[in-house]
């Protein structure tokens, strides 16, 4: 069950915590009150969940296996569908349900290498890399060629978004797109760049998923057998030592350049034709992401409680319903994570003017997507809130 089991356990503990964290006992049992009581309940509850999973998960797993077998049986078209599904599920975090069976089970191929039977695309190419008697990597390596879109496709998308940005906002667009593009190209971490257009232009994300699958199909059609799971660092370390015969990596680059051009031309056309609000094309004036000088605040507003309050922090806190509406502030790699008393008080249009790419609500939990600059945004929000520790989770 992998990551999905962790999601279930997390949800279970969250439910138990919300329901029983305020439970109080008297006398000798008082030591088991509150959070301790939640921990006591979580252990047997998790055991029950595990027993139930033994019954329902085989049904889900059979469905996943049937889907994977169907994809594999379609030949070149199967690579297109596989690549499309792997990308389209990125926002949900469930993309691993697509590629994991191909990388580590017989769905990704079976090969006998050095007298040992190996299952799974990734296991096969690691074994072939280590065996000098293998002259050419197997074509099963293409089930792990997800790096094509990461290294080349998204670079074309980023360039298209930059050249179509409004003249007065190109600097802002560059500040967002360049770091995100390099993160994708070097390391294969695509979320900062994909989230730059996922919420404002979802049709581009669907197109991105289609093109990602198309690229993987082309690799199989052209007989490319280079390793390309993530960014360019992995690509160079895995392929160059093998040589161009065992790993025909120059062909991977050639297909990548074709995909770069395809992404750029199609993204640019659709952005201009449909007037999509990609970075640098949003309505309204851009808000500076740089902190203001100490003690300053937005014109026409009261000075913030913090000694280093900034216009950006003031604007974001106001758009979130004011400091009295904020119970908790945290951040992850690309998102500002908050717990609000009244999520309906959020002004999403104002947040977009501050550089937000989207707002996700789930009960009182609100996530505001900013990208790689989220730490700077979090710092300015904290200063506006008076430098207090609002992270109470």
pLDDT, position 356: 83
Quick one: average pLDDT of 207-223? 95
Reported as a pLDDT band with limits 50, 70 and 90, residue 387 is low
pLDDT of 188 above 60: yes
Q: Are 177 and 154 in contact (CB under 8 A)?
A: no
Calculate the CA 62 to chain-centre distance. Answer: 27
Asked which of 14-23, 111-120, 185-194, 382-391 is least confident by mean pLDDT, the reply is: 382-391
Backbone angles phi and psi of 52, in degrees to 5: -65, -35
Q: What is the pLDDT of residues 348-358, one digit of tens each?
A: 889 888 888 78
Backbone angles phi and psi of 62, in degrees to 5: -60, -40
Query: Rounded distance, CA 173 to CA 161, Å?
Result: 8
Locate tokens 């080349």: which residue? 152
Asked which of 19-33, 54-68, 273-287, 311-325 is least confident by mean pLDDT, the reply is: 273-287
| Domains observed in the chain | 3-73 (no CATH), 96-274 (no CATH), 287-393 (3.30.1360.60)
Candidates 130, 203, 197; CA nearest to 162 is 197
Query: Rounded distance, CA 133 to CA 124, Å?
Result: 14
Q: Are 144 and 121 in contact (CB under 8 A)?
A: yes
Query: Rounded distance, CA 73 to CA 200, Å?
Result: 36
Backbone angles phi and psi of 168, in degrees to 5: -75, -10
Asked which of 128-132, 243-247, 287-291, 353-357 is least confident by mean pLDDT, the reply is: 287-291
Query: Rounded distance, CA 280 to CA 371, Å?
Result: 14
Structure tokens at 361: 């609500």
Q: Is 332 a catalytic residue?
A: yes
Reported as a pLDDT band with limits 50, 70 and 90, residue 284 is low
pLDDT, position 32: 83
pLDDT, position 393: 38
Instruction: Say which residues have a Cβ less than 8 Å from residue 41's Cβ, sequence separation at least 6.
Output: 16, 20
> What count of other Cβ atoms lies within 10 Å of the Cβ of residue 159?
17
pLDDT of 289 above 50: no
SS3 content of the chain, % helix, strand, coil (to 5): 65, 10, 30
pLDDT of 135 above 80: yes
pLDDT, position 70: 85
Asked which of 135-144, 262-271, 381-390 is least confident by mean pLDDT, the reply is: 381-390
pLDDT, position 273: 95
Look at 67 and 289; give whichever has higher pLDDT: 67
pLDDT of 293 above 70: no
Candidates 367, 368, 372, 344; CA nearest to 356 is 368
Quick one: average pLDDT of 60-82? 85
> Among the options 66, 203, 332, 345, which is catalytic?
332
Q: What is the pLDDT of residues 366-381, one digit of tens each?
A: 989 887 678 888 888 9
* Listed ranges 133-142, 253-262, 294-303, 320-329; the one with the highest mean pLDDT: 253-262
CA angle 384, 388, 390 (to 5 degrees): 95
Whether the full predicted model's pTM is greater than 0.85, yes or no, is no
pLDDT of 12 above 80: yes
pLDDT of 389 above 50: no
Structure tokens at 224: 């490319």
Q: What is the CA radius of gyration of the chain?
A: 25
pLDDT of 217 above 90: yes
pLDDT, position 294: 37
**Positive/negative CA dihedral, 327, 90, 254, 207:** negative
pLDDT, position 309: 56
* Three-state secondary-structure class, residue 358: strand
> What count of other Cβ atoms lies within 10 Å of the Cβ of residue 65?
14
Instruction: Say which residues have a Cβ less than 8 Å from residue 21's Cβ, sequence separation at least 6.
Output: 34, 35, 37, 38
pLDDT, position 372: 66
Averaged confidence pLDDT in the chain = 86
CA angle 348, 352, 353 (to 5 degrees): 120
pLDDT, position 307: 46
């Amino acid at each position: 069950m992998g990551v999905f089991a962790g999601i279930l356990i997390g949800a279970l503990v969250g439910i138990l915590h919300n329901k029983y964290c305020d439970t109080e006992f008297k006398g000798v049992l008082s030591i088991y009150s509150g959070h301790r009581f939640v921990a006591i309940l979580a252990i047997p509850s998790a055991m029950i969940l595990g027993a139930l999973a033994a019954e329902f998960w085989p049904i889900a797993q059979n469905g996943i296996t049937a889907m994977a077998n169907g994809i594999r049986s379609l030949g070149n078209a199967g690579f297109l569908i596989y690549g499309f599904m792997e990308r389209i599920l990125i926002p949900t975090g469930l993309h691993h349900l697509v590629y994991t069976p191909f990388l580590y089970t017989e769905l990704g191929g079976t090969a006998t290498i050095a007298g040992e039977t190996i299952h799974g695309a990734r296991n096969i190419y690691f074994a072939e890399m280590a065996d000098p008697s293998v002259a050419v990597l197997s074509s099963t390596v293409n089930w792990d060629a997800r790096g094509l879109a990461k290294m080349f496709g998204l670079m074309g998308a980023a360039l298209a978004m930059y050249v179509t940005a409004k003249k007065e906002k190109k600097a802002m667009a560059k500040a967002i797109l360049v770091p995100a593009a390099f993160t994708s190209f070097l390391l294969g971490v695509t979320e900062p760049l994909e989230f730059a257009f996922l919420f404002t232009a979802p049709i581009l994300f669907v197109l991105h998923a289609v093109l990602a699958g198309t690229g993987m199909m082309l690799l199989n059609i052209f007989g490319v057998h280079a390793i390309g799971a993530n960014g360019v660092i992995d690509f160079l370390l895995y392929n160059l030592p093998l040589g161009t015969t065992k790993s025909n990596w120059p062909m991977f680059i050639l297909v990548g350049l074709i995909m770069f051009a395809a992404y750029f031309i199609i993204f640019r056309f659709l952005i201009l034709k449909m007037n999509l609000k990609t970075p640098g094309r949003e309505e309204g004036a851009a808000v500076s992401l740089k902190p203001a000088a100490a003690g300053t605040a937005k014109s026409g507003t009261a000075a913030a409680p913090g000694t280093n309050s900034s216009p950006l922090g003031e604007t974001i806190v106001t758009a979130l319903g004011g400091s009295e509406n904020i119970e908790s502030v945290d951040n992850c790699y690309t998102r500002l994570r908050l717990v609000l008393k009244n999520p309906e008080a959020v002004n999403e249009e104002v947040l977009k003017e501050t550089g937000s790419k989207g707002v996700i609500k789930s009960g009182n939990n609100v996530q505001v997507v900013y990208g790689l600059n989220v730490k700077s945004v979090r710092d300015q929000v904290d200063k506006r809130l008076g430098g207090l520790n609002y992270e109470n989770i």
